[in-house]
Structure formats: structure tokens, C-alpha cells
Amino acid sequence: MSKSLETRLLNLGNEKIGENIYPESPAIYQTSSFIIKDLDELYQSYEVEDFTYSRLSNPNRSQLSDVISFLEKGNRSLIFSSGMGAITTALFTVLRSGDHVICNSKLYGETTILLKEILSEYGIEADFVDFNNKEELQNGIKSNTKLLYTEIISNPLTSIVDIREIVQIARENNLRVIVDNTFTTPFLISPLEYGVDMVINSLTKSLNGHFDITAGSLTMIDEDLFKRAEKLFVLFGATLDPNSAWLAIRGIRTAELRIEKQNQNAIQIANVLEKHPKINKVFHPSLSTHPQHNLAKEIIATGNFGSIVSFEIEDSYKLMNTLIKNFKLIKYVNTLGGYKTTVSHPCSSSHYGIEDAERRKVGIHYGILRISCGIEKAKDLIYDLTQAINCL
């Protein structure tokens, strides 16, 4: 039976061209669904990872999952449409109604809001303590505590936790540990090797590094934990699209080169800013004045201290806004980790939704500016920073 033009058009263009195709760059499987030959094949796909529907699985996402698992030294990774998708799924994987989580008081602002405002509606209790104070952390553990949650380098003041100590406390009390590795990345530290249960990355940031996607990952070793997380991952629907997964792999291939340059630029910038008379304080672990400088040298890859530098001027919204307007080369964006140097004002972005009094408890006020160092020549960045500050 001959087919009409309309019917033929809908079915042409899907066939594989050639028998042996080995592209240097992987193909993009930009599809919502995959053709299934029969019910036997469909039921077989339920038993092993096969591709039927892209929310469940997609080749590009699977490829990215393999890359992240390799970098984080984990067994399995889930790939999300954002870092917050990974954070939310990780928390709901471990916590139930009636449970208690202890969080580092120095966290990404939206993570704090999620823990305080959203999880509480599901009967989950969250307390925030200083993870650099071992006694305070131990005293915060209760009979219903299930989880310790922290970043390695905090956003934005670059406080560093001793992950070895955190894991030891967790094991002594039968607790899980989740770490957000976004600021450090697996090129600087591998939390799973220290005994952490789950590792989060916002792939939007340094790993992709090109300002062109939002994505997140959740990596673990324990298979039972993975199965629980995978179920939530699929049901929450926060899965990454194929094109973004392809772009993330593209970005990660050069991530080590970028991150090394970003880290070295950060060291130079921090040293110059620390000497500037109009700056009250500079926050970067490379500085000998940083309270965890020696710890950073112990647990973070040799010669690297992170690509984020924050500094403090007078506590004034007006003065800070003037400073931001003074920049010529450096731009303001509400993200970090890209190939270009950018700045962000935590009170107006990452920590905007947190009460001013709560922000001030952890040292964040209107005079704090965060620099995400890119891969430009350090001298050009230093010139722009210096001229902008001098104009205040």
C-alpha cells in the first residue's frame, strides 16, 4: 500500500545512515521517546537500563552520568536540570517526616531556605550549627538526627570544614553525610573517598563553565541509597534535557584546565586585594590570615584553594552599588564558575531570601562582594578591580 506524502514525511529521516559511525563528538539524542519493537522489549527495559522515555533515561544523560561518577569516584550518578534539583532529591532520599538534619550554618542561601521553609512543612526539623565547632556539632545531635549536611568551601565567605572530622562524627552516631562539592569540584577534593554518602555538584557552575546550561548531579556509592534517590529523581521530574547533557560533557572536557587557571587567578587577586586600604577583609583560603588556611592545604589538591574570592568594604548598599557600577571589564551575574570573571552581591542574590539578622549571624552584610574568577589574564582583572575600588 502506497503512503501519502504527509505520512511518509512523518516517518522519514529517522534511519541510521551507514553501518559504522564513530563520531569524535557524541550525537545528541534530542527525543522525548524511543521506538519499542514489541511488549517483550518493553518489559525487558524495566529490568535493565534501556531507553524508552527521556524522563526515565536518555543516552546523553547516561554519558554525563558516567563522566560525573568517574570524576567523583562514585558508582552511580543522577543528572538533574539544576543543582537545586539535586539538593532537593538528596534531602528527600535520606529524610522522612519526624527526622532531624544538622546543617552547616554557612550554606548557599537557597539551600538554607529549602531546609528552613520547605522541609519543615513535611515534618522535617533542621538546625544550623558551625561545623568548624566540633563540640557545637556533637551537642546538636538528637535521637531523631539522621543527616549532616555541608559544603566543603562555603558560599560566599569560603569557610572550610574538616570533612574527615564530620564523617567521623557521623559514623559514631550512625548518621548520613551529604556534601555539596560545587565550590571545590572533584578536581580539588573527592568527598566520597572520605566516607561521605552523597555528593552534589551544580554542573551549571565550574564543571560546565560556559554560562549556557543549568544542571546538577548527585553521586553515591551505596546501591540501595541510589535506588531510593533514582525513584525520587524520576518522580520529581527534574531530569536534564539531552542537549544540556551534551553541552555539559563538552564543558567538562576542559574543566581541569579552566579550574587550574581560575584557582591561580584567585590566589593573585586575593593577595592584591588584601593589601588594598579600602578593603576591610578578604576571604580566600590561600591567605595565611584565613582561619582554615592550614586545613585547606591538607585536604584540597596541592596549590589550589578555590576560584571564589570574597571581600568586605563598608556595610552600605549604596556604596556597594557604586562599586559594581565602577567595573569596566568584570560583569555582575547571579552565578559563578564560568570562564569569565564575574561578581555577585550575596545579600541581593544567593542570600536574598534570608532575613538580614540571620545573614549577619554568619558574616554576610551589604558590604560583602563575591568574585568568581575566570581565565583572563590576572593583571587585567586586578587592574579593573583596583580602579573600581579606588573610585569609591
In-domain check, residue 138: yes
pLDDT of the residue at 12: 65
pLDDT at 195 over 90: yes
pLDDT of the residue at 295: 97
Residue bearing the bigger pLDDT, 23 or 189: 189
pLDDT of the residue at 48: 77
In whole angstroms, what is the distance from residue 247 CA to residue 204 CA? 10
Could you list the residue range(s) of the whole structural domain that residue 123 is in? Answer: 39-252
In whole angstroms, what is the distance from residue 10 CA to residue 18 CA? 21
- Of 159, 160, 179, 184, the C-alpha closest to 363 is 159
Cα distances from 311 to residues 266, 273, 297, 314, in angstroms, run 12, 8, 21, 10
> Do 118 and 144 belong together in one domain?
yes
In whole angstroms, what is the distance from residue 266 CA to residue 285 CA? 10
> Do 55 and 162 belong together in one domain?
yes
pLDDT of the residue at 7: 74
The confidence band for 46, taking pLDDT boundaries of 50, 70 and 90, is confident
> Do 46 and 144 belong together in one domain?
yes
Q: Give the up-direction half-sphere exposure of residue 21: CA atoms within 13 A in the CB hemisphere.
A: 9
- Please compute the mean of the pLDDT values over residues 140-164 and round it to a whole number: 97
> Do 186 and 269 belong together in one domain?
no
- One-letter amino acid for residue 132 of the chain: N
pLDDT of the residue at 25: 87
The confidence band for 303, taking pLDDT boundaries of 50, 70 and 90, is confident
pLDDT at 16 over 90: no
In-domain check, residue 33: no
- Please compute the mean of the pLDDT values over residues 209-238 and round it to a whole number: 97
> Do 318 and 377 belong together in one domain?
yes
In-domain check, residue 10: no
Query: What are the residues facing 179 on neighbouring strands?
Result: 150, 199
pLDDT of the residue at 24: 85
The confidence band for 169, taking pLDDT boundaries of 50, 70 and 90, is very high
In-domain check, residue 312: yes
Residue bearing the bigger pLDDT, 108 or 167: 167
Question: Which one of 194, 219, 252 terminates a domain?
Answer: 252
Structure confidence by residue, pLDDT tens digits, 274-290: 999 999 999 999 999 99
Instruction: Pick the range with the lowest mean pLDDT from 8-12, 140-144, 159-163, 379-383.
Output: 8-12
- Please compute the mean of the pLDDT values over residues 11-24 and round it to a whole number: 69
In-domain check, residue 2: no
Instruction: Pick the range with the lowest mean pLDDT from 43-47, 265-269, 335-339, 360-364.
Output: 43-47
Question: Which one of 252, 287, 307 terminates a domain?
Answer: 252
pLDDT of the residue at 14: 67
Kind and range of the H or E element at 260? helix 255-274
* Residue entry with cell 535506588: 227
> Do 292 and 234 belong together in one domain?
no
- Please compute the mean of the pLDDT values over residues 188-199 and round it to a whole number: 98
> Do 152 and 100 belong together in one domain?
yes
pLDDT at 236 over 70: yes
In-domain check, residue 28: no
pLDDT of the residue at 18: 59
Which CATH number belongs to the domain containing residue 159 in this structure?
3.40.640.10
> Do 237 and 278 belong together in one domain?
no
Please measure the distance between the N-terminal and C-terminal CA atoms of the chain and give it in whole angstroms.
80
> Do 285 and 180 belong together in one domain?
no
Q: Are 204 and 247 in contact (CB under 8 A)?
A: no
Our count of domains for the chain comes to: 2
SS3 221: coil
In whole angstroms, what is the distance from residue 60 CA to residue 79 CA? 10
Question: Which one of 202, 227, 252 terminates a domain?
Answer: 252
Which CATH number belongs to the domain containing residue 270 in this structure?
3.90.1150.10
pLDDT at 17 over 70: no
> Do 232 and 287 belong together in one domain?
no
- Please compute the mean of the pLDDT values over residues 381-391 and round it to a whole number: 98
Mean pLDDT of the chain: 94
Angle at 236 between CA 221 and CA 338, to 5 degrees: 70
> Do 75 and 166 belong together in one domain?
yes
Query: What are the residues facing 160 on neighbouring strands?
Result: 153
pLDDT of the residue at 8: 72
> Do 231 and 293 belong together in one domain?
no
pLDDT of the residue at 26: 87
SS3 53: strand
- Of 191, 309, 201, 190, the C-alpha closest to 252 is 201
